[in-house]
Structure 1
Amino acid sequence: MNLNPDILKHIELLVGSIGVILSLFFAIFLLSNRKQQPKANTFLALYLLAFSLRIGKSLFYNYFPIDPIIRNMFLGILLAIGPSVWFYVSLLKNPNKELRFKSYIWHYVPMFVVIGCCWFIPNDSGTISRIFYYSLIVHMAIYSSYSLFFLLKNKPTLASSKEVKIHKWLLFFVITTLIMLLISILISTRIIPYYLGIAFLFSVVVICFSIWALKNPFLFKLETEKYSNSSLNKSEAEDHILKLNQLMNDEKLYLDPELKLSKLSKKIGVSSKLLSQAINQIENINYSQYITQYRVEEAKKRLASEAFENYKISAIAYDSGFNSLSSFNAAFKKHTSITAVQFRKNEGKK
């Protein structure tokens, strides 16, 4: 069945516009709430603004003519993407890093230069025009590739769920950016003969960003709010968690269904209040959730092991530290998105 060209055109515009609108809204939200946001998010906002303006121009240009000078201005905005990727990654990985205006503004100088010279840059299918466009892609690719190298070289050393989530988010963010750059090249060389393909992809990416943000709201909150008057600094909290993780891995205390926070705090040598605070600050979860994740991982190991293939799921649940089958089922489904029965079947097929 062939779709009416007009209907297809409206669908293209609708889907492509979703990403632009969401991205602009997200960027404005981040910029308007800068005081309540980690400073890294200012650069995420710049990234979203630059991309949304560029994609918005592409959507508009597909239906209406745009003056070459205006097109060059929008192309120049792409030079804000690379630096924004790098500063967002580096600051989210190192939130205490001091960043002065002079240390980052020069990275954006090429953008201002290109926008200031947009009257003199040809915007046609000629050689100079194509070299100019590819140089923009290379500029973004260099920053994004270096950001990826930085992330791969600086994996979290502390077994913190929060640090791991931030690292995974940044990997997704950078790799997705590189994929969009690759698709831009494929479209410009007509290997992908679909001009709005990048707009469609951008909409999907922004929706994924939004879902990730909803699932991990700590990415958009200052962690100092809750414990602003506390004497426990981040270094001390990380030290407590390092000792706690070591204790859990060595002694498997989580197998005790009656395990209390007070028992753990005594073994580490801190008060229950400070240990609870350290778990909240570093892991971004409470004590109960912290213990539960160890118990679920233990259950997963046993369910996947041939040594326990004849054990009932209820027996594995109790042996992993859960004190009821219902709490085990709820926790397992929450952490793995599948039931224990399905997990065991999947492992048996491998």
Structure 2
Amino acid sequence: MTEINLLIIVTVISLFISLFLAFFLLTVKSEHKTSNVLFALFLIITSIDVCEPLFNSMVDGPSNLGMLRNTFAYLQIPVFYLYVLSVCYSDFKLSAKHLLHLLPFLIGNLLLLPRFYTVDLASKINFLQNRQHMIELQFNHILIHVQLLVYLVAVFMILRKAKKLYQENYTGTNIQSYNWLFQFTTLLTIFYLIALFKNIFKFSDYPNISESIKIGLLLFQLPIVCWYLFKALNNPGLFRSVDSKLKLVKHIISEEKKTEQLVVSEEEYNEELLKLKQYMVEEKPFLNPSLTIQEVSNEIKVPVRDLSLLINHKLGQHFFDFINTYRIENAKDILKDATKSRLTILEILYEVGFNSKSSFNTAFKKHTGLTPTLYRKQL
């Protein structure tokens, strides 16, 4: 089997799976419709990009459609960026301002109008044969990779902020969704860096190396996308977004320092802390696996902003860790109780407010240095 045939076979398999997944995301009933549509669009645009071997086998010579297909690569990372925003923030909505992400794609194609899109076939062939000396192609090549790096940095910044906001305001195991999205973005980053390496060889004297890397990328891409979708679709409840209008505690403190406002007096701090601890002990709200800081705020009549500052700044904990501390202490009491020795670890974690064995084990080991099973054995 020749390398060209292998490339076409791999391309067809990749296209089939990607387009099938895109069709599923566009048709499945879900409360995460915007996220599903954006990820489906990402898969479709990626399919357009990777179908080059199949496209070239069907089209004889350079064409406007072929060049347009190449420039669709401009749209991949902006669509993924919007997808990440839609997953991280519950109030995300597509609007006219998001059309600005089309600018690099439009600029790249406008530059190609005079000497490619509007000329005859012979001129197109000459343009591509001398591509190393064509300023339009050089500009597009540089712009698309600069765009890639900028968007990837932006995505990692969004994920970092969203995770912190979640930890400061929520308690569920939904933090895993951000971990998976971070892992997926990391794998995509590796994928795009390899693609950049491939493009270097594409414009060198070793185009065969570029083609070999291309096959590897096609094989690498499929398991990444399938793994992420398997995680996301198997655990749709984990994707609980935060409000983009929420502010990090460090930003609240910074703003108050600028306006020379006092956050709370020492006396108010002690009163609110006493009220919070009393509520936690008497009412045990931590038993609710999806407890939010807003719900606690409503119950103890302390503004969310003040409560967030109290826990995150004064106590030096995220709300996420603060609540888990009470859950773990409750779990330790159950593990020590001889009358409850028949309870399994799974039953205990559900009883104290966790809904995931992995998150329970992680939190328990963080607070005690031991897994729940080892802790029970040492009693």
Same fold (TM over 0.5): yes
Q: Distance in 2 between matches of 1:89 and 1:130?
A: 30
**Match in the other structure for 1:186:** 197
**Match in the other structure for 1:12:** 7
**Match in the other structure for 2:374:** 316
**Match in the other structure for 2:97:** 103
Q: Distance in 2 between matches of 1:52 and 1:259?
A: 55
Q: Secondary structure at the match of 2:72?
A: helix
**Match in the other structure for 1:265:** none
Q: Distance in 2 between matches of 1:8 and 1:50?
A: 25
Whether the aligned pair in 2 keeps the contact of 1:47 and 1:81 (CA below 8 Å) is yes
Q: Distance in 2 between matches of 1:57 and 1:14?
A: 12
State yes or no: 1:138 paired with 2:146: yes
Q: CA separation of 1:132/1:296 partners in 2, compared to 1, >3 Å: closer, same or farther? A: same
**Match in the other structure for 1:31:** 26
Q: Distance in 2 between matches of 1:320 and 1:20?
A: 54
Q: Distance in 1 between matches of 2:363 and 2:200?
A: 52
Larger radius of gyration: 2
Q: Distance in 2 between matches of 1:145 and 1:55?
A: 24
Q: Distance in 1 between matches of 2:83 and 2:111?
A: 28
Residue 255 of structure 1 is aligned with which of 335, 360, 363? 335
For residues 146-202 of structure 1, the C-alpha deviation after alignment (integer angstroms, 9 at most, x for no partner) is: 112332354345285643322222222322332232222222221782225235324
Whether the aligned pair in 2 keeps the contact of 1:24 and 1:48 (CA below 8 Å) is yes
Residue 70 of structure 1 is aligned with which of 45, 54, 65? 65
Q: Distance in 2 between matches of 1:60 and 1:7?
A: 18
**Match in the other structure for 1:93:** 88
State yes or no: 1:127 paired with 2:134: yes
- Alpha-carbon shift at residue 108 of structure 1 (Å): 2.2
Q: CA separation of 1:11/1:42 partners in 2, compared to 1, >3 Å: closer, same or farther? A: same
Whether the aligned pair in 2 keeps the contact of 1:238 and 1:278 (CA below 8 Å) is no
Residue 201 of structure 1 is aligned with which of 206, 211, 217? 217
- Alpha-carbon shift at residue 220 of structure 1 (Å): 4.8
Q: Distance in 2 between matches of 1:236 and 1:49?
A: 39
**Match in the other structure for 1:163:** 174
Q: Distance in 2 between matches of 1:253 and 1:290?
A: 20
Q: CA separation of 1:278/1:72 partners in 2, compared to 1, >3 Å: closer, same or farther? A: farther
Q: Distance in 2 between matches of 1:320 and 1:58?
A: 62
- Give the structure-1-normalised TM-score: 0.63
- Alpha-carbon shift at residue 97 of structure 1 (Å): 1.9
- Alpha-carbon shift at residue 56 of structure 1 (Å): 0.7
Gaps of 5+ in 1: 1-5, 225-231, 262-274, 304-314, 322-350
Whether the aligned pair in 1 keeps the contact of 2:171 and 2:291 (CA below 8 Å) is no
Q: CA separation of 1:87/1:187 partners in 2, compared to 1, >3 Å: closer, same or farther? A: same
Q: Secondary structure at the match of 2:163?
A: coil
Whether the aligned pair in 1 keeps the contact of 2:45 and 2:72 (CA below 8 Å) is yes
Q: Secondary structure at the match of 1:183?
A: helix
- Alpha-carbon shift at residue 320 of structure 1 (Å): 7.0
For residues 11-65 of structure 1, the C-alpha deviation after alignment (integer angstroms, 9 at most, x for no partner) is: 3332333322221221222223365434223222222111111111244337864
One-letter amino acid of the structure 2 residue matched with residue 293 of structure 1: N
Q: CA separation of 1:302/1:170 partners in 2, compared to 1, >3 Å: closer, same or farther? A: closer
For residues 238-264 of structure 1, the C-alpha deviation after alignment (integer angstroms, 9 at most, x for no partner) is: 989766412134563463472899xxx
Q: CA separation of 1:295/1:97 partners in 2, compared to 1, >3 Å: closer, same or farther? A: closer
**Match in the other structure for 1:337:** none
Whether the aligned pair in 1 keeps the contact of 2:81 and 2:151 (CA below 8 Å) is yes
Whether the aligned pair in 1 keeps the contact of 2:324 and 2:363 (CA below 8 Å) is no
Q: Distance in 2 between matches of 1:58 and 1:82?
A: 22
- Alpha-carbon shift at residue 132 of structure 1 (Å): 1.5
Q: Distance in 1 between matches of 2:153 and 2:182?
A: 11
Q: Secondary structure at the match of 1:73?
A: helix
One-letter amino acid of the structure 2 residue matched with residue 49 of structure 1: I
- Give the structure-2-normalised TM-score: 0.59
Q: CA separation of 1:17/1:48 partners in 2, compared to 1, >3 Å: closer, same or farther? A: same
Q: CA separation of 1:81/1:255 partners in 2, compared to 1, >3 Å: closer, same or farther? A: same
Q: Distance in 2 between matches of 1:27 and 1:50?
A: 10
One-letter amino acid of the structure 2 residue matched with residue 167 of structure 1: Y
For residues 72-96 of structure 1, the C-alpha deviation after alignment (integer angstroms, 9 at most, x for no partner) is: 21122122112212211122111x2
Q: CA separation of 1:139/1:177 partners in 2, compared to 1, >3 Å: closer, same or farther? A: same
**Match in the other structure for 1:266:** none
Residue 159 of structure 2 is aligned with which of 145, 151, 164? 151
**Match in the other structure for 1:214:** 230
- Alpha-carbon shift at residue 293 of structure 1 (Å): 3.3
**Match in the other structure for 1:245:** 324
One-letter amino acid of the structure 2 residue matched with residue 105 of structure 1: L
Whether the aligned pair in 1 keeps the contact of 2:22 and 2:44 (CA below 8 Å) is yes
